[in-house]
Structure 1
């Protein structure tokens, strides 16, 4: 049986064969043989990406773990935590930080992988064989999408449980008493209700010398002071107490009771005890007590999306009922005028006698004590209403913050998953553009991009949590910024467009700001065609005359016409002709062997033929800039600057043309050049 297969993709020379397709013949249900084609190109690309991704992921995870550990370093150091507790801490931490490390790892790995292939010219070979960049990215894109989906389910299943256990562990470590490490020469207050002073200690034997102990466990009025020549500290078997073994010392205890006042300190009795050996038992719980993890079930990060939505619904229902009760209370307490009578208001108004009484008259006729009472009653009512409203505002604000925090966590599970795909569309084309592999340039670029993403994401999250922004806008702003950047880079890389050619940007800003460029004409090592010196003086004279005539009629010192440069754009053909003729002469005279000619060519300026006529070549852009008066005024001043510079450049062309005519017309130079030409022939 003859099997015909179509050859696709690209092929390398026979010295380095690369099989892009593998043929595998498998039996079908109907007894026939069919061929499965597995593309080796995809396997090769995936192999390059997988090796880099594995290293990048563990590096990113390690960096995030170190940053997280530094935040809680005070809870870890000096607590005497066992290796089991530390292993749980770092294990839970690694699980919770995997969703954050995955996007950065994808960005770094894709940037390095495509940078390596670009640096080894493998991307160039694939594109030359007709394989577009999007086709090259496809196998890795499938894997990255799988990473994103896996990250989403991971955040919805394993991450909430790890978050709850990690937060429980951190709170328990904060509540754990620190290990006793008594320094020398200072008072140590790490033990509750006890201050210890040790002048010297022996680290090998654990002996303490010249001890001073202040015990205030029974209150400051019955403080105990213990002096000892030496001692030793131990922890009891249950780790609930500290045992102090003291030798050769004294103990003082103040016997002052409640009947003694501070003015009778001279007659206050005290107790003094001298001992050769004494043991003190101090209450000190050094055990690690893990709190109940169920106490943190209300934490937003410890819930999956279904639990988050259910809790939000219940809280919103509760807040709605609270809001309705607050509104009903406000209608009766704050927004209702007092009623002084229940009679028919129409009948009362008909029988009432109209009279005008000013408020000042009422105040003047009221006794002062009643005015004071009225003011105090009003102030008390206002203060009561204010306190009540502040409390209600606090309750509603906490409820709103609770809901916002849960919605933020709900959105974050999707944004972090989608960030894996977004970062791939940034890293892969960027690596194909810069064509630099390794850990140097790609690492720097990845860190800078991730920092900007982190800034936008964190800022949007904080503004959404505070209520300044809408929740979906604050949580998705980083994705909205990252998506067009990835699409733009992918489009440019697929079209092989020049994006990071810094010379183009330098030239653009140099022309925009009006910065001058200088010529650099050097003597050539090999000259094929010598300049035609016989016609050069005439051509230089024509160039000189064209510049002189233009200076006479253009009046470049005057300010440009605003309407003409923005609304009636006409290209300056005369300056374009001068520029073309000058560049032609420079190109021909650059073949000269005379250093004086080459030096004078470097004095010729580089003209911007249309910079003094209009800011843009597009008529619509010119009209828009002219209508925007502040922008148009700046561009108008720029046009004037270029007109003044054009006048100076034309004068320099006239001067350099005269110098070149003088140099070329020199008979001695002409004879030497002819002799050199004859010798070369």
Structure 2
């Protein structure tokens, strides 16, 4: 490998790794901010939180990798241009495509790797992440008492603590309402002090109370007037209450299966199956509705009409519309009831089949969107590099200032276009090919144009070039304004002299 290529690769790989972790950190902060309410107060272990963060980070790689590629390309070429290294390479006879050749190889490898990440790692990470989030939502909050407030985190129990010692965790002035009995019996416990905590496996509530009273209201599923009340005191009382939902119970991740948890082969299989199902459901719904329900003459109605009314010339059948006009009121009501029942049955059949058809269509659209998302990611990474590298060569500014601004602008444009196309594709308004590849179709010409401009040493984004042009334009406008001002003053002075010569004096004579 040439020494110059080693220099270029070294200049690119460092910013690429740095920007990738910066972008992933920003995306992780967004994830934490989104799910912070579900994570706090559950007593989760560090291992569960780290596992959830790892799966979430794997899920965000397809979103962060294009942005990191764009930012690293702008920083690398901007640093080379700012330090005049890019100018030295061009002076040595190297064109910009030749300078970018080793970077294109590296970006190509990253793009191919991103496909396998999106196809294999991301579905597995999504499945595990959904499973952990579901388990966290099912888990109840830890038991934390606040002075003077009721704690209702336990089903059918309310606990109030007057004061809690922060060092010994001894509870003072304890009041417990226990409604766990199925038959309606209720227990009320009042104690001077005690301890209430979960067992180590979080399956039992350990209650130890001192110097208290117990009030038991016994109803045995009867009315309130037939209930009885019992009361007794105690010096110490121990209870071991079985608890559910406080321990972290891991569920099987295979049950969380959707379009985001499948690879491209599974998505293709689902697409083929769903297309057959959609065609079957649609045909099963619309064809009988049209042939057997709507455009059909009910034989029972026609038979009833024919039996009541015949043609004067002896023909056995008349049309129902002509006959209904001459039927008695009660017979018209019978015909109307039968027609209304037939219409309701048709509507119910159509609504059921239509809901099944809509569900199958939604699954089909989502599967197609995920299929094209996986295939469009490598192309997006290459396009972002072809945008970033020429931009860096044009602006000749390194660091994190100007590159971040330009990268964010292009990424926001890309994200808005992608989200819009994805939404239209999921709704079925557009085909998935147009919806998921829309951003690529828009950004690809921009990448080609910027590459062409950078190869020809264009001053497209050079602020000094624009400042010089504006300065020259101002000078031209200023000079034109001065010359016009001089000419106008001379013309005005000449007209004034002519008017003064043509005016008459006091004797009526003109002054020459």
TM range (shorter): 0.7 to 0.9
Tell me the residue number matched to 1:53.
16
Tell me the residue number matched to 1:112.
75
Q: Deviations over 1:191-230 (max 9, x none)?
A: 1221222221112111112222222222594332222222
CA contact (8 A) 1:78 1:178 kept: yes
**Residues 260 and 173 (structure 1), Cα distance of their counterparts in 2 relative to 1, 3 Å cut:** closer
Tell me how far apart the structure 2 counterparts of residues 71 and 505 of structure 1 sit (CA, whole Å).
43
**Residues 355 and 84 (structure 1), Cα distance of their counterparts in 2 relative to 1, 3 Å cut:** closer
Tell me how far apart the structure 2 counterparts of residues 220 and 451 of structure 1 sit (CA, whole Å).
60
Tell me how far apart the structure 1 counterparts of residues 71 and 117 of structure 2 sit (CA, whole Å).
21
**1:196 counterpart SS class:** strand
Q: Deviations over 1:103-158 (max 9, x none)?
A: 11111111111111111111122222222111111110110011101111222223
After superposition, residues 21-60 of structure 1 pair within 5 angstroms as: 38-60=1-23
Which ranges in structure 2 are unaligned for 5 or more consecutive residues?
Answer: 494-512
Tell me the residue number matched to 1:278.
237
Q: Deviations over 1:210-255 (max 9, x none)?
A: 2222222225943322222222112224421211211222222333
Using the TM superposition, give the Cα deviation of residue 441 of structure 1 relative to its aligned residue in structure 2, in angstroms: 1.5
Choose from 450, 453, 457 the match for 1:496.
Answer: 457
Choose from 306, 309, 318 the match for 2:268.
Answer: 309
**Residues 199 and 362 (structure 1), Cα distance of their counterparts in 2 relative to 1, 3 Å cut:** farther
More deviation in 379-388 or 202-211?
A: 379-388
Tell me how far apart the structure 2 counterparts of residues 349 and 461 of structure 1 sit (CA, whole Å).
67
Tell me the residue number matched to 1:290.
250
CA contact (8 A) 2:376 2:436 kept: yes
After superposition, residues 566-581 of structure 1 pair within 5 angstroms as: none
Q: Deviations over 1:305-332 (max 9, x none)?
A: 1111112222322333333333453222
Tell me the residue number matched to 1:460.
421
**Residues 106 and 256 (structure 1), Cα distance of their counterparts in 2 relative to 1, 3 Å cut:** same
**2:55 counterpart SS class:** helix
CA contact (8 A) 2:183 2:221 kept: no
CA contact (8 A) 2:293 2:342 kept: no
Tell me the residue number matched to 1:333.
293
Choose from 397, 402, 406 the match for 1:441.
Answer: 402
Choose from 363, 371, 375 the match for 1:410.
Answer: 371
Choose from 344, 352, 373 the match for 1:391.
Answer: 352
CA contact (8 A) 1:192 1:284 kept: no
**2:47 counterpart SS class:** helix
CA contact (8 A) 1:315 1:399 kept: yes
Choose from 436, 439, 447 the match for 1:475.
Answer: 436
Q: Deviations over 1:449-495 (max 9, x none)?
A: 11111111111111100111111000000111111111111111111
CA contact (8 A) 2:285 2:354 kept: no
Tell me how far apart the structure 2 counterparts of residues 488 and 59 of structure 1 sit (CA, whole Å).
29
Using the TM superposition, give the Cα deviation of residue 72 of structure 1 relative to its aligned residue in structure 2, in angstroms: 2.2
Tell me how far apart the structure 1 counterparts of residues 324 and 22 of structure 2 sit (CA, whole Å).
80
Q: Deviations over 1:625-652 (max 9, x none)?
A: xxxxxxxxxxxxxxxxxxxxxxxxx678
Tell me the residue number matched to 1:64.
27
**1:86 counterpart SS class:** helix
Larger Rg: 1
Q: Deviations over 1:646-680 (max 9, x none)?
A: xxxx6785137779xxxxxxxxxxxxxxxxxxxxx
CA contact (8 A) 2:170 2:195 kept: yes
After superposition, residues 609-620 of structure 1 pair within 5 angstroms as: none
RMSD, aligned CA? 3.4
Tell me how far apart the structure 2 counterparts of residues 48 and 81 of structure 1 sit (CA, whole Å).
42
TM (normalized to structure 1)?
A: 0.65
CA contact (8 A) 1:425 1:486 kept: yes
**Residues 338 and 47 (structure 1), Cα distance of their counterparts in 2 relative to 1, 3 Å cut:** same
Choose from 127, 143, 146 the match for 1:180.
Answer: 143
**1:182 counterpart SS class:** coil
After superposition, residues 83-482 of structure 1 pair within 5 angstroms as: 83-218=46-181, 221-260=184-223, 264=225, 268-285=227-244, 286-296=246-256, 298-330=257-289, 331-339=291-299, 340=302, 351-352=314-315, 362=326, 365-367=328-330, 378-482=339-443
More deviation in 221-230 or 414-423?
A: 221-230
**Residues 332 and 374 (structure 1), Cα distance of their counterparts in 2 relative to 1, 3 Å cut:** closer
Tell me how far apart the structure 2 counterparts of residues 350 and 492 of structure 1 sit (CA, whole Å).
91
Tell me how far apart the structure 1 counterparts of residues 81 and 490 of structure 2 sit (CA, whole Å).
47
Q: Deviations over 1:565-591 (max 9, x none)?
A: xxxxxxxxxxxxxxxxx75xxxxxxxx
CA contact (8 A) 2:394 2:462 kept: no
Tell me how far apart the structure 1 counterparts of residues 220 and 487 of structure 2 sit (CA, whole Å).
108
Q: Deviations over 1:344-400 (max 9, x none)?
A: 9xx98973398999789657x414xx7666666555544443333222111111101
Using the TM superposition, give the Cα deviation of residue 302 of structure 1 relative to its aligned residue in structure 2, in angstroms: 1.8
Count of residues in Structure 1 that have an aligned counterpart in Structure 2: 484
**1:181 counterpart SS class:** coil
After superposition, residues 615-654 of structure 1 pair within 5 angstroms as: 653-654=487-488
Which ranges in structure 1 are unaligned for 5 or more consecutive residues?
Answer: 1-37, 510-515, 522-581, 584-603, 607-649, 660-681
**1:351 counterpart SS class:** coil
TM (normalized to structure 2)?
A: 0.85
Tell me how far apart the structure 2 counterparts of residues 220 and 118 of structure 1 sit (CA, whole Å).
82
Tell me the residue number matched to 1:655.
489
**1:197 counterpart SS class:** strand
Using the TM superposition, give the Cα deviation of residue 187 of structure 1 relative to its aligned residue in structure 2, in angstroms: 1.8
Tell me how far apart the structure 2 counterparts of residues 468 and 245 of structure 1 sit (CA, whole Å).
64
Using the TM superposition, give the Cα deviation of residue 268 of structure 1 relative to its aligned residue in structure 2, in angstroms: 4.8
Taking CA–CA contacts closer than 8 Å with sequence separation of 6 or more, which of the two structures ends up with the larger relative contact order? 2
Tell me how far apart the structure 2 counterparts of residues 496 and 272 of structure 1 sit (CA, whole Å).
94
CA contact (8 A) 2:281 2:356 kept: no
Tell me how far apart the structure 1 counterparts of residues 160 and 190 of structure 2 sit (CA, whole Å).
10
**Residues 375 and 422 (structure 1), Cα distance of their counterparts in 2 relative to 1, 3 Å cut:** same
**Residues 224 and 389 (structure 1), Cα distance of their counterparts in 2 relative to 1, 3 Å cut:** farther
**Residues 505 and 205 (structure 1), Cα distance of their counterparts in 2 relative to 1, 3 Å cut:** same
Q: Deviations over 1:421-440 (max 9, x none)?
A: 01101111111111111111
Q: Deviations over 1:539-561 (max 9, x none)?
A: xxxxxxxxxxxxxxxxxxxxxxx
CA contact (8 A) 1:426 1:485 kept: yes
Tell me how far apart the structure 2 counterparts of residues 407 and 177 of structure 1 sit (CA, whole Å).
37
